[in-house]
């Protein structure tokens, strides 16, 4: 069965080829040449381990997965483990992105064939995204950077084997690559929490920076910035759930102080939590350094929040939330009160869609705004 043709029809219906050059680029790049013979799917076995999709065991299932328009291929877990080791539970640390988001990002990047765009691509991985970019801008105009040495070597080999010769660097993509700067376009296939200074400084006036953007509270916004005069500013243009750039990963430290105080909640936690990704993402923009997790069920159901440094914690009971002992606060910050405040501010603004929000990055730091860059909601130094 021609799974590439099936994917092409699905993508066409979705409007994925609205940039005319994308259809020919999609047809030119054989995605199968960039997929390993074994990778993990999202399905799990009875032990909760992700199952392996192995070309040798079932070539048809392998090809069907490779050309799936909506699912990425998990190629690495825990910073080095590959699917040759079998079914596994672990943290996803590299993948081949799903076709729908690959093409959506290239639509948003605003490149055209024949234009001598200098493009910086962060996160080479398998090389598939770099190959499609090379089809458009030419290998000579593309620099692609991969942090992981094993992935960098594999991506470079895949690209050479398919006839593409971009500049492939093993290094920290957050620092860019001075030798091929300045850039007209910067595109990342890993998520960040702030825009690196080097991306702004090494971009030409009018350059576009397109990057998946996460907060600790919620993941998955696609941020599109325009660089002018060394300032990068723009809004969220869609969703894009990607793995973290390694140095931007959450610390996951939780060391609540000994002292605590009790309080009632001013609002039912159900009003704030579990209302869908779009609301969570908007609230996370107000509180980018706060993480949360859920635990317990029924009368024991709770949510726990903590700040990035692990110095403040709040535990909120869903049951009888109005009572004086429903909320336990540790440390200087009352994180539940801050989240309630963020929710109230969002509601008073008319519950705007996350695509109404934008960010500006300048020498002073990061500035969150709503509707217009002049309408700043919060500012903080970049970290």
Question: Among all residues, which ones are annotated catalytic?
Answer: 97
Cα separation, 185 vs 181, in Å, equals 10
- The strand pair at 203-213 and 183-188 is best described as parallel
Contacts of 328 (CB under 8 A, 6+ apart): 260, 261, 262, 314, 315, 316
Polymer length in residues for the chain = 383
What Cα–Cα distance (Å) separates residue 163 from each residue in 79, 156, 160, 177? 28, 11, 5, 23
How many CA atoms, within 13 angstroms, populate the side-chain half-sphere of residue 192?
22
Find where tokens 């079998």 sit. Answer: 86
CB atoms within 10 A of CB 94: 28
Cα separation, 134 vs 165, in Å, equals 8
At residue 271's C-alpha, the angle toward residues 267 and 273, to 5°, is 110
Cα separation, 313 vs 329, in Å, equals 6
Cα separation, 29 vs 31, in Å, equals 6
Cα separation, 224 vs 185, in Å, equals 11
DSSP string, 257-306: -S-EEEE--SS-HHHHSSS-HHHHHHHHHHSTTEEEEEE--GGG-EEEEE
User: Helices (H) and strands (E) in the chain — how many of each?
Assistant: 10, 19
> Per the structure block, which two tokens stand in for 305?
């929040």
Cα separation, 151 vs 315, in Å, equals 40
């Amino acid at each position: 069965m021609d799974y590439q043709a099936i994917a092409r029809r699905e993508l066409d219906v979705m409007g994925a080829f609205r940039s005319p050059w994308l259809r020919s680029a999609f047809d030119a790049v054989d995605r199968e040449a960039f997929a390993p013979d074994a990778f993990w799917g999202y399905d799990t076995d009875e032990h909760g381990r992700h199952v392996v999709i192995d070309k040798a065991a079932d070539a048809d299932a392998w090809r069907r997965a490779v050309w799936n328009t909506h699912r990425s291929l998990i190629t690495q877990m825990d910073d080095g483990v590959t699917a040759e080791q079998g079914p596994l539970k672990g943290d996803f640390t590299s993948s081949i992105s799903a076709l729908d988001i690959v093409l959506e990002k290239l639509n948003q990047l605003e490149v055209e064939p024949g234009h001598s765009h200098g493009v910086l691509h962060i996160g080479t991985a398998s090389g598939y995204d770099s190959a499609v970019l090379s089809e458009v801008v030419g290998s000579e105009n593309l620099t692609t950077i991969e942090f992981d040495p094993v992935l960098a070597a594999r991506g470079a080999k895949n690209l050479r084997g398919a006839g593409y010769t971009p500049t492939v660097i093993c290094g920290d993509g957050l620092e860019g690559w001075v030798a091929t700067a300045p850039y007209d376009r910067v595109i990342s296939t890993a998520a960040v929490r702030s825009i690196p200074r080097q991306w702004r400084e090494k971009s030409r006036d009018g350059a576009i920076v397109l990057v998946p953007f996460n907060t600790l509270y919620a993941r998955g916004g696609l941020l599109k910035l325009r660089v002018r005069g060394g300032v990068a500013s723009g809004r969220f243009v869609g969703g894009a759930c990607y793995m973290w750039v390694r140095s931007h990963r959450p610390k996951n430290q939780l060391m609540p102080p000994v002292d605590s105080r009790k309080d009632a909640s001013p609002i039912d936690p159900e009003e704030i939590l579990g209302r869908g990704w779009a609301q969570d993402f908007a609230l996370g923009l107000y509180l980018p350094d706060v993480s949360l997790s859920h635990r317990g069920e029924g009368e024991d159901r709770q949510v726990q929040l903590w700040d990035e440094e692990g110095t403040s914690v709040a535990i909120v009971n869903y049951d009888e939330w109005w009572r004086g002992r429903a909320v336990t606060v540790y440390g200087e910050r009352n994180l539940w009160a801050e989240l309630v405040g963020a929710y109230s501010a969002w509601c008073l603004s008319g519950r705007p869609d996350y695509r109404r929000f934008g960010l500006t990055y300048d020498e002073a730091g990061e500035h969150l705004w709503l509707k217009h860059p002049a309408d700043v909601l919060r500012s903080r130094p970049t970290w």
